[in-house]
Structure 1
Amino acid sequence: MKDLLFLSHRIPYPPNKGDKIRSFHWLKALGQRYRVHLGTFVDDPADLVHESALAEYCEELCVRRLDPRMARFRSSRALLSGKPLSFAYYRDRGLRRWVKRIMAERSIDTVLVFSSPMATYIDRNLSCRRVIDFVDVDSEKWREYAATRRGPAHWLFAREARTLLAAERALSREFDASLFVSEAEKALFDERAPDSRARTRAVGNGVDTDYFDPGLDYANPYPAGSAPQLVFTGVMDYAPNVEAVQWFVAEVLPRVREQQPGASFWIVGTRPTRDVLALARVDGVQVTGSVPDVRPYLRHADIGVAPMRIARGVQNKVLEALAMGCPVALTDAAATGLRVMDDDYAGVADTAAGLADQILRLTRVRAEREGHESFARARAYTTAHYGWASQFERLLETLEDRSTTGAGHVGGAPAAQEAFACARHS
């Protein structure tokens, strides 16, 4: 086996949120083909117990504690530097020493960087194959944040969008290949960084259809007598999720309840903020906090909802609901990056009235077709297009393609060198 260095900004276990789902499946598959040396951060002390579970996939493992308060302090010190704050957030001397030792002691054949801040740990003159998985165009996310804010928050988010895009462009020139989670994200980045177009690839997300199996027996978590049951799943201290459920409760749910007074909306996910917890005071809204298993909530829900108005890449919550045979009502933003879905199990709309209409339409379809079993096409959609094995084959093709190795190295382009230096030394 060859040696591969894998750097991930967040510990890829347990696979219970978007980026960790993707990074875990990469790690799991890579461990069968390479001796993997994994360097990563833990920002939630509860995740430290999973270090032993990760070890079985790795030849060597470095897990560094990330104190969010100190990380925010580092970011604040970078405000006047012209560098991305997110890169300063993940700066760590211990991880840098570990990477330097691994590169000196091991015959590293390939480097895979997951998320742009981790690229700052990789020297620019390495001769091995270097691939960066941007996943999404993060700078565009910050631009969207800025568009919804005023005052200091607008300035801060706009600054991050500007500095991060400069770093993303530089990194795409420096690395041999850059990955994005969908053709839509790839096309957006190609527009933003046209000189790197030849080295960008779309490698999608998948869903574990063996785990998300509606045929298994799940106890119904919903009380009898209320219908339809609408469910949103996700980490509930993530700003786009918080904004999505707030908008849904304020603008969409009342329209649904005008036609279906018994309708209830369940917000299922760990770490709900105070703003999310406050939504439980609204009639028809339930906030569960962390649950041991989201599958019962998807299996017994009438409709899954993904009312995202700020979204990048592929929404795993949508794939998981569909894999469980649960129809989904979603916004255009949440649908971006997904293959075209049939309207008998998915309804897409961008206004509150339109989304409410899609929910009511899907509940009628459910009633006509008698339950979850009638939505076999939803599950078939995920098994046909979103199996992890096929996604890993695409990743492997990129990792093992030596035709462009070294082609992305920054040479005499001063602008690229300057932007990359800003990224690396933040």
Structure 2
Amino acid sequence: MSDRRRVLFVAPWVPGRRRPRSLALLRSLQERADVRALVLVWNDHDAADARELDGDVVAVRGRAVEGVWRAGRALLTRRSLQQAYADAGAMREAVRTSVRDFRPDAVFFNVIRSGQWLPLVGDLPVAFDLDEIRSEYYGQVAARGRGPARWVGRIEAPRMAAAEALVVARAQSVLVSSPHDVADRATFHLVRSVPVPTPFRWDESRAVGGRLLFVGRLGYAANVEALEWFVEHVMPLLRARGVPATLRIVGAEVSSRVSRLAAPDVEIVGPVADVGVEYASAAVSVVPVRTATGVQMKLIESLGVGTPTVATRLCVELAGSAAEESCRTADTPQEWADHIEQLLGSVRAREAASASGRRWFESNYAPAAVEGAVSRALDAVDV
């Protein structure tokens, strides 16, 4: 019998390449404790990811149609719609069974969509990875969204804030990915999200002239909105100025709205095997996301490879105070066009931007720094 601590890891999805933060945290736990992972499998991709996980893994099937039905019923209550969607009966039973049979010393919950299962673990010590303050995202959607999205934001923002408050009151340790979210809260720990490692590094000699790159899930509302705004407002300015730029859009889950953006200078690529190849061959990486919480993975990946980057002020502020020195920041179409034109027109500017981005990444996302932060967060629950 192992004398290591026993930890129950509970997630409303499957940690893997598509969810690198969850995977990194699970692996960190497995290095220091005996872990049972309870994960919700929603589709065949999730099932494949679950099969790749090491150790004691219990995969519970979640059904989207049932999730939609639960969320619909939650409209009549004060429950978070996201939490209701994920609250599969089989998962609740798996949590109860594991608490009884696995007998964990502590429980680690992954993202707010697992918060509804907190009451099932009794008074066991709890660490909770919020990652981001999701209620702030829905507040932004409520203020700036369009159509049904704005309506959902108005409903979900206060419900999610209430769910987060319950987590903060219950958990001995709360993990977040952005320094913006730590403030002076004693139980909060900044644990940066490390992207999936890639061997590729940006180099001027390999960059494709005029290539702008956007990477992200192309069915995610914030990314879709960002791309539509960029193509509508920034690309015409670049064309009018005669800047030879082509936007290359990379990512899974290509939505019909994104597909409609295709043009001679807008290329829809879809999913790729390694986004590092894309970052390494781009002249400039763009992060025009205007609805965001936490730290954008696309910003971390881009600066990690060393690609010259332009991002919204919101994304840069969420990444931390020193991040403003790592890339160009822009909000208005004019600012975006100015920075892109300057970077595409100067080798020296691109190389300086690449170097500053890499310095920031190494200072904040080096494995040792992240692992130290994880250790401090887990020490709070004696894991």
Please give the TM-score of this superposition, normalised by the length of structure 1. Answer: 0.82
Over residues 203-233 of structure 1, what are the superposed CA-to-partner deviations in whole Å (9 max), with x where a residue is unaligned?
222245x5243179x998x6xxxx4100000
Q: Secondary structure at the match of 2:182?
A: helix
Aligned to 1:410: none
Q: Secondary structure at the match of 2:234?
A: helix
The Cα shift of 1:46 comes to: 2.1
Equivalent-residue separation in structure 2 for 1:342 and 1:314 (angstroms):
13
The Cα shift of 1:162 comes to: 1.1
The equivalences for 1:240-259 within 5 A come to 240-259=222-241
Give me the identity figure in percent.
Answer: 26
**2:317 is aligned with what amino acid?**
T
**2:357 is aligned with what amino acid?**
A
Aligned to 1:22: 21
Change in Cα spacing, 1:346 to 1:374, as seen in structure 2 (3 Å) is closer
Aligned to 2:188: 200
The Cα shift of 1:42 comes to: 2.4
Aligned to 1:126: 122
* Residue segments in structure 1 that go unaligned for 5+ positions in a row: 191-196, 406-426
Over residues 143-179 of structure 1, what are the superposed CA-to-partner deviations in whole Å (9 max), with x where a residue is unaligned?
1111124665433321111111112112211222222
Q: Secondary structure at the match of 2:84?
A: helix
Over residues 328-369 of structure 1, what are the superposed CA-to-partner deviations in whole Å (9 max), with x where a residue is unaligned?
0000122122242465x611011111111111222234x236
Residue 10 (str. 1) matches residue 18 (str. 2): no
| 8 Å CA contact retained: 2:327, 2:353 | no
Shift >4 Å, 4+ stretches:
150-153, 371-374
The Cα shift of 1:388 comes to: 3.3
Over residues 225-277 of structure 1, what are the superposed CA-to-partner deviations in whole Å (9 max), with x where a residue is unaligned?
xx410000011111100101110100111212333442100110011100000
| 8 Å CA contact retained: 1:25, 1:388 | no
Over residues 352-397 of structure 1, what are the superposed CA-to-partner deviations in whole Å (9 max), with x where a residue is unaligned?
11111111222234x236x769833422321221123322321221
Over residues 113-149 of structure 1, what are the superposed CA-to-partner deviations in whole Å (9 max), with x where a residue is unaligned?
1111212223367343201111111111111111124
Residue 399 (str. 1) matches residue 378 (str. 2): yes
The structure, 1 or 2, with the larger RCO (C-alpha pairs under 8 Å, 6+ apart) is 1
**2:214 is aligned with what amino acid?**
F
Residue 387 (str. 1) matches residue 383 (str. 2): no
Aligned to 2:141: 145
Change in Cα spacing, 1:126 to 1:396, as seen in structure 2 (3 Å) is farther
Aligned to 1:333: 314
Match of 1:232 among 195, 203, 214: 214
Q: Secondary structure at the match of 1:50?
A: helix
* Residue segments in structure 2 that go unaligned for 5+ positions in a row: none
| 8 Å CA contact retained: 1:332, 1:349 | yes
Aligned to 1:412: none
Equivalent-residue separation in structure 2 for 1:65 and 1:154 (angstroms):
30
**2:92 is aligned with what amino acid?**
R
| 8 Å CA contact retained: 1:43, 1:66 | yes
Equivalent-residue separation in structure 1 for 2:139 and 2:59 (angstroms):
31
The Cα shift of 1:61 comes to: 1.1
Residue 171 (str. 1) matches residue 167 (str. 2): yes
**2:217 is aligned with what amino acid?**
V
Q: Secondary structure at the match of 2:295?
A: coil
Aligned to 1:185: 181
The Cα shift of 1:69 comes to: 2.8
| 8 Å CA contact retained: 2:202, 2:281 | no
The Cα shift of 1:298 comes to: 0.7
**1:292 is aligned with what amino acid?**
A
Equivalent-residue separation in structure 2 for 1:337 and 1:45 (angstroms):
33
Q: Secondary structure at the match of 2:293?
A: coil
| 8 Å CA contact retained: 2:9, 2:109 | yes
Change in Cα spacing, 1:323 to 1:402, as seen in structure 2 (3 Å) is closer
| 8 Å CA contact retained: 1:213, 1:323 | no
RMSD: 2.5
The Cα shift of 1:402 comes to: 5.0
Q: Secondary structure at the match of 1:279?
A: coil
Change in Cα spacing, 1:150 to 1:51, as seen in structure 2 (3 Å) is closer
Equivalent-residue separation in structure 2 for 1:298 and 1:355 (angstroms):
19
Change in Cα spacing, 1:43 to 1:389, as seen in structure 2 (3 Å) is farther
**2:103 is aligned with what amino acid?**
S
| 8 Å CA contact retained: 2:71, 2:84 | yes
Change in Cα spacing, 1:288 to 1:388, as seen in structure 2 (3 Å) is same
Q: Secondary structure at the match of 2:342?
A: helix
| 8 Å CA contact retained: 2:285, 2:309 | yes
Change in Cα spacing, 1:78 to 1:352, as seen in structure 2 (3 Å) is same
Change in Cα spacing, 1:248 to 1:374, as seen in structure 2 (3 Å) is closer
Q: More displaced, 312-321 or 265-274?
A: 312-321
The number of equivalent residue pairs is 378
Please give the TM-score of this superposition, normalised by the length of structure 2. Answer: 0.91
| 8 Å CA contact retained: 2:316, 2:324 | no
Aligned to 2:286: 305
